[in-house]
Structure 1
């Protein structure tokens, strides 16, 4: 049977490019790392590394074993996280994952309620991109994660238990003096001649805009690519173009822009805000408590959005 520690050494060497760096990461000497790697190669009966003047390169056998080793490492980390949760349960620690717009809207109120209702429980929050949050859930580094998806990229992971918190509608962002404020209703097809502010670096909202505009029969004319929603609002206020955004992303709206709802007969895509945990792990009391609070906070935001939609234009 293969020695797991040696397999993990191979993974570190593969990822770091040298046995010396792998030894440092695992807190062993380079000599010990070299000896352990030689023993692993003896166990498998073939070379796993090409030793080069500067670092190492995997053989085909080494690459195959390193890939399996990554899965083993992931499971070991998950096992350690399970054990850690048992150890820290008396201290009441909740490890939560979130993404920027949820962290700037839903989460602060939820954390405040949580700390007031459960002062003995401690919460840590890891903010990350969607793919990273999913990985952190699988490894057990977080217990709960706030996630999002659209109809074309639904999260379908049988290992996850997913709660639907709320729907987050897409709204139009225009300057405070925009003539669009006088329109009784607006569909995307009515905006084909406008310049657009989008999020940079293939941000999901940029994909929402492009998909929606193409369905409406035109390609959006992009005038600016912003790094965040505050910057996008500033460019809209300056008259450089108009923008779309999820409503939760505009909790801190500038006073020189206005938000418009799209016509109900041609709705813009709505994203779902979700709460996920690993289905095979029993939730801790802290997880259950936070889940209940996040549902309550989400209901408040849903009620506020319903009120705004009944008013039509948000000024």
Structure 2
């Protein structure tokens, strides 16, 4: 196998026209240059230089290898530049997993901001609801995932680090004309005897509802399982029951329902960013997390303003 470093020495000799001049240019001794050329000729199995007066000129093989050395040198320089851009977060690719209700309010504004700050970084977005994206994060198939966990969950599964973005409170969804529709806020226990329309898949989101109901002293009686916020509103509007839907899931309101705050306790789900524990530091990834935090901050401000 040809030695790239020796090929670059050959290129310097060809460019300078003599061993002595190449040695001065490279900071080597003439003897070291001659030894490198001799070793390269042994590897190539052919003479690379011939003497002409006090200088040298390349043979056909010497010209060939010198040209390839120049190409390799340019490619190495390009690779170093590309690597520097990647380390600085100017280029690269990030794979993101997210769930539906985080899309419009968190992911969309975060990605828009991120693209303005990191235009050279490609972001692959994949909706995984209701699948668990944490295995993708743990095994390196995704760089980041948005997940719902209990509000007091400070840890995560082995190999995954969680960073809390925001708490998403649930709101009561009632049909217009319901006996409680005239109240601005409800105690959760007031819904204990109502038929309920399910709005969540089994998992952390549904657990947030059930845990709050348990604190209030009851277990909801589900008469419809919709597992979809828009569909749940339709069942509520038809008078089939009441429902709890997180604030981020109330992007489009059915005209025949009313939304009320819930207290004592207020059901909440916590939204986290999940990243691989052993992932190397990536400026682009940290930049995307910062953009998600800003989107979460603005979303929380909107919540306060609308309450």
Query: Structure 2 length normalisation: TM-score?
Result: 0.64
Per the alignment, do residues 183 and 132 of structure 1 end up closer, same or farther by CA in structure 2, a change over 3 Å counting?
A: closer
Deviations 1:290-310 (A, max 9, x none): 11111111000011112223x
Checking the alignment, whether the CA contact within 8 Å between 1:104 and 1:249 is kept in structure 2 is no
Structure 2 equivalent of residue 253 of structure 1: 253
SS of 1:165's equivalent in the other structure is strand
Structure 2 equivalent of residue 60 of structure 1: none
Per the alignment, do residues 294 and 201 of structure 1 end up closer, same or farther by CA in structure 2, a change over 3 Å counting?
A: closer
Deviations 1:63-108 (A, max 9, x none): xxxxxxxxxxxxxxxxxxxxxxx89947421111112221243111
Alignment pair present for 1:292 and 2:290: yes
Deviations 1:113-158 (A, max 9, x none): 2223332221101222576311001111111111111147665335
Structure index of larger Rg: 2
Measured in 2, the distance between the counterparts of 1:246 and 1:271 equals: 8
Measured in 2, the distance between the counterparts of 1:171 and 1:184 equals: 11
Structure 2 equivalent of residue 169 of structure 1: 169
Please list, as runs of the form range in 1=range in 2, the aligned pairs for 1:1-315 lying within 5 A after superposition: 89=86, 91-129=91-129, 132-151=132-151, 155-157=155-157, 159-199=159-199, 202-263=202-263, 266-309=264-307
Measured in 2, the distance between the counterparts of 1:272 and 1:214 equals: 18
Say how many residue pairs are matched. 222
- Does 242-251 or 294-303 show the bigger shift? 242-251
Deviations 1:203-256 (A, max 9, x none): 544433333333323332222110311100111111111100221122233333
SS of 2:181's equivalent in the other structure is helix
Measured in 2, the distance between the counterparts of 1:282 and 1:169 equals: 34
Measured in 2, the distance between the counterparts of 1:249 and 1:259 equals: 12
SS of 1:169's equivalent in the other structure is strand
Checking the alignment, whether the CA contact within 8 Å between 2:205 and 2:269 is kept in structure 1 is no
Measured in 1, the distance between the counterparts of 2:152 and 2:297 equals: 25
Query: Structure 1 length normalisation: TM-score?
Result: 0.63
